[in-house]
Structure 1
Amino acid sequence: MSVPAIAPVTPAISRIGRFYVTRELGRGTVGCVYLGHDPVIGREVAIKTFNPRLTPSERNKYEQQFINEARAAGRLAHPHIVTIYDASVENGATYIAMEYLQGRGLNRVLDSGHRFKPDEVASIVWRLADALNHAHQHQVIHRDIKPANIFMTEGDLPKLIDFGIARAPNRLADKFAHVDDPVTLLHGNNVVGTPNYMSPEQASGKPIDERTDIYSLGAVMYEMLVGHPPFHAESADKLLQQVITKAPPAPVELDQHIPVVLSQIVMKAMSKRPEKRYQSAEQMALEIKRYLLKEQRARRRMRLALPPEAQSKREGFLASHSMMAWLGYFSLAAATVLTGFVLLR
């Protein structure tokens, strides 16, 4: 795990568990993240613990969320899910030691105005769908898939993070999940998630299963393709009503450059009725993979379809430009040597 780059902060503590604290990476209302060093393995880790400013009662309120995150993500091993190394409570300090990631959250990438190309979106979401399939096979439902919980590492490789409100085997208590969080909602201890990316059944407080994550991933894919979330409203209540009752326009209707196939994948994933969606994240991943393979074959055919004379011209063009580049280089080198000779005289 990582946080947006900020000026280094000297930590008030030097050690958490067996980990030596290097510096503070950032903090929120509840948590604080440090860069640490594992002396046993000899690697850098991100250590997530409570914000030192929390009162004991506030810590008790959120402690089960920390434990749940460790239990949910700790049972998973996938290249696109953050790796949990350790979790413990020592000397009154609850912490999670996890993989140290460098990059930034998908939410910050989107907020910067960056628009992904359709094939880039497909490649990223395919990996996320595969990661969700792995989680679901281990009976872990994330329940809060959103851009802020997708971390983009170098090379635009995504990692699912923050399993704090995930539903997993042996979950201790849902009632502690994200209480009083202004972005995440909790109604009647049933509705948990982030409004713009919640499934209709999640927004209604109905029972959920793995298909709620599929809907949320579809909503993320929607935003990546068109540049904004599928719904917008002045209040959370109105937003939830839109999620429950309203179908957003298909991405291709908003941008004709978006491939129809990707638009269809998004709309199927975001179907209001769970039985109309992909019934597993694996199905969604396979359909995106088929699209990517088809596009790859099409580009290869286009290259091979060039007539011999066109290929010869292309090769001759590249060769001539390469020769011109070398001639230019040697001319510049000769001029530089001559200039140096004149200056030395």
Structure 2
Amino acid sequence: MRNLERLTVETGRVIQRRYLLQRLVQQGQTCAIYQGFDQVLQRTVALKVATVEHIPAYRAAIRATAQFAHPNIIGIYDLIVEADALFIVQEYVDGDDFGTLLQSQLSPYHVVDLGVQICQALMYAGTPSRKISHGDLAPSSIIRDRRGLVRINNFALPGDVAYFSAWSVMGAAGGPIFADADLPVGQMSDGRRADDTRAVGLLLYQLLAGRTPDARTVEPTPDGRLRFMRNAPPEVCELVARTVIRQHPQHIASPEALHAELKTLAEALEPPPPISGQLAPAPAYQAVEEPVGRVAQAQFAPARSGGLSSQPLGSNSRLLDGEYATRTDTGGRMMTLDSSNASTAFDASMSAKLAAARQAAYAAPDVPVKRVNMPLVILFGLVLFALFFGLGYYLSTILIH
């Protein structure tokens, strides 16, 4: 760490007479990331600086992923080894880190879409010709650019032990923190595919979790329960629970399976473009605001007995027959799932309801039907008949005489 701290103050340095270190972007535990400038190709780049003790891990990761070319994966340009450090030259992405995404309070649709894009990157890396797992899919590996494209970094690196250890309380069922620890880092296996899939679920949960508006991080709950914000659609909460909770009877353990279900939800939640000249209605998933003194309830709450129950502010939460329960916290009203006894029911009709609600919200305005005045039409016809009859009689009289 001492060498890393020394490198972080050396802005203005030119690496290999080509890459200018302009400013420090992020200081991590194993590397520092700079914004730099490629003076040969005249373009902005990112330079990841790793100290000597971490060089073997980074070099192995670069060898495994150097040929990656996918819109959701940050590209690698160059690798420079010096006596005291390793410099990885990467594509520079101007966008929002995970902490900024937390503060922006993404809509359920955008949270689901983020999961779809992460799964696309994992599916690309896991194809038979590559067989690479991520292994370190923590918030520090995620950035979303200005176009809304999610970009993934840090493929095939050792996992962040502190991060995944802390989150193992959330439905991990006492299993190992990392599957198949005896395999080389980044090598694909069914266990590591399941680890990466669960890591996606953890990221989505953090974006949907109850928290203060200015929070840049989310901490796991001590009791292992999943607590969602009040405007999170229950079908999205259920899908996240099935991904995070390993002992869930319908546990999702592959990026392909998670991607398929997220795509279905994204299609149901995606707001249609506003009609030209009209204000876009509020999204169908938005919570309903109620008068002061009443507890507001989110739309799409299950109507079955034992589903989402209303409790007064300040009441304690409890699980009702393994179904959803509610609770109140400093972050507002939330839905709670118990990681040890989650509901196995998934409301498959919810997507259809969402689509129907969206269609109704954006239905075309009724066009008034013009009624025909039949008496006027009959009168007009009689007048025309009289005119033609008179004209015919007049012509016949002239021709006869």
Residue 245 of structure 2 corresponds to residue 271 of structure 1? yes
Contact 1:115 1:227 in 2 (8 A): no
Residue 197 of structure 2 corresponds to residue 214 of structure 1? yes
CA distance in 2, matches of 1:196, 1:18: 43
Contact 1:22 1:36 in 2 (8 A): yes
CA distance in 2, matches of 1:165, 1:274: 28
C-alpha offsets along residues 132-151 of structure 1, whole Å, 9 cap, x if unaligned?
A: 21122232222222222211
Deviation of 1:164 after TM superposition, in Å, equals: 6.0
Contact 1:199 1:216 in 2 (8 A): no
One-letter amino acid of the structure 1 residue matched with residue 11 of structure 2: P
Residue 74 (structure 2) aligned to one of 82, 103, 109: 82
SS of equivalent to 1:34:
strand
Contact 1:35 1:44 in 2 (8 A): yes
CA distance in 2, matches of 1:135, 1:195: 26
SS of equivalent to 1:209:
helix
SS of equivalent to 2:24:
strand
Residue 142 (structure 1) aligned to one of 134, 141, 148: 134
C-alpha offsets along residues 143-181 of structure 1, whole Å, 9 cap, x if unaligned?
A: 222222211221443211223625xxxxxxxxxx76xxx
Q: Which runs of 5+ in 2 are unaligned?
A: 1-7, 181-190, 212-217, 271-354, 370-401
Residue 13 of structure 2 corresponds to residue 24 of structure 1? no
Contact 2:20 2:38 in 1 (8 A): no
SS of equivalent to 2:362:
helix
Residue 195 (structure 1) aligned to one of 143, 155, 166: 166
Contact 2:118 2:152 in 1 (8 A): yes
Deviation of 1:193 after TM superposition, in Å, equals: 4.0
Q: Residue 303 and residue 250 in structure 1: after superposition, are their counterparts in 2 closer, same or farther (change >3 A)?
A: same
Contact 1:47 1:95 in 2 (8 A): yes
Deviation of 1:274 after TM superposition, in Å, equals: 8.6
* 1:1-345 to 2 correspondences below 5 Å: 11=11, 13-14=13-14, 16-17=15-16, 19-26=18-25, 27-50=27-50, 59-90=51-82, 93-110=85-102, 113-137=103-127, 138-163=130-155, 165-166=157-158, 184-185=161-162, 193=164, 195-196=166-167, 200=172, 203-204=176-177, 206-207=179-180, 208-228=191-211, 229=218, 231-233=220-222, 246=224, 248-249=225-226, 251=228, 255=230, 257-273=231-247, 276-296=250-270, 298=356, 299-300=358-359, 302-304=361-363, 306-309=365-368
Q: Residue 249 and residue 196 in structure 1: after superposition, are their counterparts in 2 closer, same or farther (change >3 A)?
A: closer
SS of equivalent to 1:278:
coil
TM-score, scaled to structure 1: 0.63
SS of equivalent to 1:120:
helix
TM-score, scaled to structure 2: 0.55
Deviation of 1:305 after TM superposition, in Å, equals: 5.4
Q: Which has the higher contact order (CA 8 A, sep 6+)?
A: 1
CA distance in 2, matches of 1:281, 1:130: 8
Question: Cα RMSD over matched residues?
Answer: 3.3
Contact 1:222 1:230 in 2 (8 A): no
CA distance in 2, matches of 1:249, 1:34: 36
SS of equivalent to 2:198:
helix
One-letter amino acid of the structure 2 residue matched with residue 226 of structure 1: A
CA distance in 1, matches of 2:177, 2:37: 44
CA distance in 1, matches of 2:100, 2:150: 13
CA distance in 2, matches of 1:85, 1:44: 12
Contact 2:135 2:156 in 1 (8 A): no
Contact 2:76 2:89 in 1 (8 A): yes
Instruction: Tell me what 2:183 maps to.
Output: none
Q: Stretches of 4+ moved more than 3 A in 1?
A: 26-30, 39-42, 90-93, 201-206, 227-230, 273-276, 295-298
Deviation of 1:81 after TM superposition, in Å, equals: 1.4
One-letter amino acid of the structure 2 residue matched with residue 119 of structure 1: Y
CA distance in 2, matches of 1:66, 1:164: 9
CA distance in 1, matches of 2:259, 2:61: 25
C-alpha offsets along residues 58-94 of structure 1, whole Å, 9 cap, x if unaligned?
A: x432112321332344242211111111223245542
One-letter amino acid of the structure 2 residue matched with residue 232 of structure 1: T
User: In terms of Rg, which structure is larger?
Assistant: 2
One-letter amino acid of the structure 2 residue matched with residue 24 of structure 1: R
Tell me the number of residue pairs that the alignment of Structure 1 and Structure 2 aligns.
Answer: 256
Q: Residue 97 and residue 205 in structure 1: after superposition, are their counterparts in 2 closer, same or farther (change >3 A)?
A: closer
* Identical residues among aligned pairs (%): 22
CA distance in 1, matches of 2:252, 2:178: 21
